[in-house]
Chains A and B, each alone.
Chain A
Amino acid sequence: MNILVTVVMRDLRLAMRRKSEVLSAMFFFVVVAALFPLAIGPEPAMLRQIGPGVLWVGALLASMLALSRLFEVDHRDGALEQMLLSPHPLWLLVLGKMLAHWLLSGLPLVILAPVLGLQFHLSPDELALLSLTLLLGTPVLSCIGAIGAALTLGVRGGGVLISLLVLPLFVPVLVFGAGAVQALSSGLGAQAHVSILLALLLPALFFSPWACSAALRIALE
């Protein structure tokens, strides 16, 4: 448990030295959320309809921006090899990195989303549900995205390649996450959606550190 905290704190500390990277993901989210109404029109009824979807996709893309850097810095200065050689289980170290990524790229979006949701005339209930679904969904992105980041370590075109690899896998979370808010708006309950999001999150948390470790070993041998 200690080592998990150590890994997370290390990543957070390193990220704080390059604050611009963390903030740029958040700014990207804000800008994207503003672009859609500008492109489509300010009509409140329509914005309410597309809002959850737009914010979900925006969060997805913003979160993906930081993925290519997940292992890159450690790879460059040799810390990653040290992690592979360390007596601590690799999956635990990887879980720490995934958690740090989420804290830096996912959680801020969860907090920002309700604020941006006001631009789309979403009701307080909808805003709360939006945050909840993002809270459940963004960790999944950190998990699956880390696998993509590990596979493409040091590969040219890494950022776009990660998107191509990870986004199709992320479709179920997107469908149920954005769908939950829409279900709430149309009067149907969203309990099923939230349950399914949880059902997607838990296996992702359990299996992706292991898969990501395998991917790291493949990348570094």
Chain B
Amino acid sequence: MRWESWSQFWDMGGYGLYVWGSMGVTALFVLLEIWQARIAHQNALALAATEQQDKP
């Protein structure tokens, strides 16, 4: 391993804010997108379930 300690890892040689700001926001958006997709799917299923089948 490259890193001697956790604090060194978080610090990223002084660039911690930028590196984790990038990684963090990316991870956040990915998680939000997954969450949004799940909700959209549930809504679609609910919408389909309310469909009245027109029997001739």
In their complex, do chains A and B touch, with some C-beta pair under 8 Å? no
